[in-house]
Amino acid sequence: MVFSRRTFSAIAGSTALGLSLGGSAAELARAASTAPTGPAPRPPVADGAAHTVGFDRYSLLVDGRRVVLWSGEVHPFRLPSPSLWRDVLQKLRAHGYNAISIYVSWNYHSPAPGSYDFTGVRDLDLFLRTAAETGLYVILRPGPYINAEVDAGGFPGWLTATEGTARTSHPTYLRYVDEWLTEVDRIAARHLYTRGDGTIVLYQLENEYADHVTEPAGRDYMAHLYAKVRADGIDVPLFHNDKGRNGHWAPGTFDTGGEEGRWLYGFDGYPSPSQPPPDWGYFGAGGVKGGSTASPATPGLLAEFGGGWFDPWGGAEFGGQGYAESRRTRDAAYERRFYLTNLANGIKIHNVYMTFGGTTWGWLPAPIVYTSYDYGAALDEARRPTAKLVPMHQLGQLLGSVPELAKLDRAADAADEGTGAGIRAYHLVNPDTGAHVHVLRNDAADESVARIALAGTDVSVPVPGRDARLLAAGISLGRRTLRWSTAQPMLRLTTGRQDIAVFTGRAGDPSRTVLESPDEPAVTVLGGDARHAYENGALRIDTVLGGLTRVLVTGGGVTAPLLLLLADDEASARLWRYDTPSGTVLVRGPALLRTAALHGSAADLTGDTVEDADLEVWAPRGVDEVTWNGSAVRTRATRSGSLRAERQLPGVPRVTLPPLTGWRRRWENPESAPGFDDSAWRTADRTVSFSTTPVPGGRPVLFRDDYGFHYGDVWYRGRFTGAAGAGSVSLSYTAGTQGLLMAWLDGRPLGTHRMPVPDRKTVRQGTWSAIATFPVEVSGTGPHVLSVLVRPMQHDMDGEADDAHKVARGLTEVSFAGAAPVVSWRIQGMTAPDPVRGPLNHGGLYGERKGWHLPGFRDTGWETAALPRGDRGQGVCWYRTEFRLAVDPAVDASVGLTFTDDPARAYRVQIFLNGWNMGQYINDVGPQRTFVLPNGILRTRGTNTLALAVLADGTTPSGPGEVELTLLGSAAGGVPVDTVDSPGAQPG
């Protein structure tokens, strides 16, 4: 961007927000003098140089330059294949994101107090290096509590059995918090952008902490976290995300050790897509509860804004349609309408939760969600771009290349603009340059015409129903200035000998673009259909948007030509900007541009194609060669100043997947037999617990966490005598959503109890308690053995800071009707955590304890089987097979495992691929039936082991039914994928 010396030295006008909005006089005084409008900093890299990261009331400031953080939420722990981290991050950068936000989940890294694992799929250091190599800023969110729809909100299982109230200043809790933060911060400190060793620019303390706000236990806790993080060397600005618009933890509300100007107020927002977008800033009600106005001296920070929504077991949230319905209700029009409203309201740090949701594999998910965490996000669970990326692509490119948008005030006449029916208009102005931005939002169902004044000219602009548009006037297009346009600006850049500006809109929309021009310029229409006229110092260009219209403007008193590209939405999504140290490259055509590097006269590009695709490259002067994924491309120069491939890039070859055959199976449940040897099991004889669940008077603690079993299934075996006359046994148990219990007496099945499927009223209920009562016939004096298998699901989250994660899991009390025998209990859950796959990979099933889920296990003695099945019986049956894939190494194929069966059949399946627990399928609950198998864990060129642990309650015939591999998507290109370590069963 080219600006005059006067523009760079401009000082902003008076403070846009008055004292009535809150904030100290000192804060407002600091905010009154702000940094000037100017070009954004180059994409961040770990360059070894010191950088500054600060902010004023408008935006983040990196090395004194304004940057709007346009961020997408990504969770490394939801993609257990480190190679694919690069794939996702490259896609986000290409589609306009300049930042990512990541949670770090404590439970994922810590199997026991003092034990921390940051290797393999948990390599946070590698992820942060990859983000820096991709050119993305990082917002780090390590908790200690994260919520995130993960087990216990991210707290490790072992923390559930410790004293003290979590999320307060209790010393025991703080001791463990310090232990955790020491480990995370040791890594984070190596990746701070301030030191040039990485790209972390913001760091979050806690998460949606809305309780104990006015109490010492809460304020001391936040002060402790602040001091701890600073002591660990984290020197970037810190923030907290308010759980709604409450003004909680705004600057000055707790002790920061005397440090000022380094703390940001942020908040989260998940408005319903069926309601008009709210104003949480300039155009809102203001004040402490007005969103960003709670902290007028800091930029608007939306730490989480809904890019979708989670779906519960049974799918009640989306009518059983799953995440496809989430994506439909929060589609591209939703993004334009809601995100542009946020931008108009001064939100300059905007994080979309989620942008890639991924998979909550193993026992990682919170009880309220199933395995998939697709979320209806812009990148689906299989890493495929969706139509939702188009507006993010456009807006991200716009914010990165038009710096006027980083510093905007509400225009004086913002409330006086006339509009059409259903239209809400927002008018903002840059105080330095005088550039104007208009956001036009249509809250009606039908298209409406907005009537506004652009640079003094009354114009009419159609806005689709429940959609929005951004228009600009007075922005720089390089060495020319836009007077106004009815098309939305997308990007501008200078490359070669010309400036390039891109404007976008719906196919079929008429557009008018007016450029300032001291003299009449020469205009050449190079592609498409456009008309032009010159009058009174302005060039007018009219077209109907469709594909890509090219207009070259030269002369007219301006030294450099301007290539004007007018693109409809589809064409705009195939325009890729990439900044290199040697200059900016613009690429048109392929499905994705991953990287661009300039080496002498060559532009070396990497990326993806799905269909056959054009390739056109605008590059700096002297570049006359192009390579694509390492192969030379024959090109010709065009009148547009580009190099265009003489042949299209080929699309993706066909991918063939094999059928799943050769199954072997084996029943387990030896624990139900009276003679089973349980002498090595833990004796359940504790009498006190730190759980929030009361211990039944005079009875032992049966809660699984008190005996060190935190994840997966747990077995109980109780021995007793003297139960003559007993008519029934009542088993009280507590579990997460869709927990179940099954019992045997002296080897005979008593039955199964299941928690109900949640409805719309109970989708957020993470803990369920029930009493399962079974009739019994106890003959003789004994001894007798009561065997109980509980699938407790996961721990509740602690969103209210009331220790909900400490509610018991497993059996809580056992009693007999007609007798009162004394029962001695033993308990067994998961064995030692898998040293590679981690503590959440397996539970306490017999097969898991014996390694039946692992590759290399000798199953030659198992019986052969064919699917589908229709067995009936209570308990667990295992199925194993192997399959081989031979996918072209130049193809990125995303593969899923799909189950098809009669939904009336009651059974569930734990899915193990090469020993990795890829999730849980519940046939009669759903809605998930396809499970993504991430490449790296999945050997796309090699042999794979698939093991299914099928748990059935015996009330219906159980499957599995049809089980098949499904191609979820493929592209020619991708990233190199390393095999994820998948150790097999040990001999003997």
Q: What's the CA gap between 416 and 426, in Å, rounded?
A: 10
**Residue 373 token pair:** 């965490």
For the annotated catalytic residues, the residue numbers are 208, 304
The span from the CA of 15 to the CA of 431, in Å, is 11
Query: Which structure tokens are listed for 435?
Result: 């550039």
Q: Look at strands 562-568 and 498-505 and give their pairing.
A: parallel
**CA-CA distance, 779 to 784, in Å (whole number)?**
9
Q: Is the dihedral of CA 706, 707, 708, 714 positive or negative?
A: negative
Q: How many beta carbons lie within 10 A of that of residue 544, not counting itself? A: 16
Residue 352: CB partners within 8 Å, gap ≥ 6? 71, 72, 73, 305, 306, 307, 339, 378, 392
Short-list 692, 803, 694, CA closest to 217: 803
**Structure-token pair, residue 43:** 């994409």
DSSP codes, 856-868: T---TTSEEE-SS
The strand pairing partners of 874, in sequence order, are: 953
Q: What share of the chain is helix, strand, coil (3-state, %, to 5)?
A: 15, 35, 50
Cα(34)–Cα(15) distance, integer angstroms: 10
For residue 438, give the nearest of 466, 404, 389, 464 by alpha carbon.
404
Phi, psi dihedrals of residue 888, rounded to the nearest 5°: -50, 130
Pair 789, 813: CB distance under 8 Å: no
Alpha carbon distance 678, 91 (integer Å): 52
Tokens standing for 957?
């015939």
∠ Cα 473 479 483 (to 5°):
20
Among candidate residues 882, 853, 860, the one with its CA nearest the CA of residue 944: 882
Please, are residues 558 and 587 in contact by the beta-carbon 8 Å criterion? no
658: burial class by Cβ within 10 Å (0-12, 13-18, 19+)? exposed
DSSP conformational letter for 672: G
> Residue 792, SS3?
coil
**Residue 623, both tokens:** 């570049």
Question: Helices in 189-254 by DSSP H: which ranges?
Answer: 216-231
Q: What is the rounded CA–CA span in Å between residue 501 and residue 476? A: 10
CA gap 484, 486 in Å, rounded: 7
In whole angstroms, what separates CA 776 from the centre of its chain? Answer: 49
Do residues 963 and 930 lie in contact, with contact meaning Cβ atoms separated by under 8 Å? no
CA distance 53 to 192: 10
Largest Cα span, the chain: 109
Is the CB of residue 344 less than 8 Å from the CB of residue 282?
yes
Please, are residues 961 and 597 in contact by the beta-carbon 8 Å criterion? no
Q: How many residues belong to the chain?
A: 988
Number of neighbouring beta carbons within 10 Å of residue 919 = 25
The residue assigned the tokens 């140089």 is: 49
Q: Cα separation of 675 and 783, whole Å? A: 11
DSSP classification of residue 512 = E
Q: What angle do CA 931, 932, 933 make, to 5 degrees?
A: 115
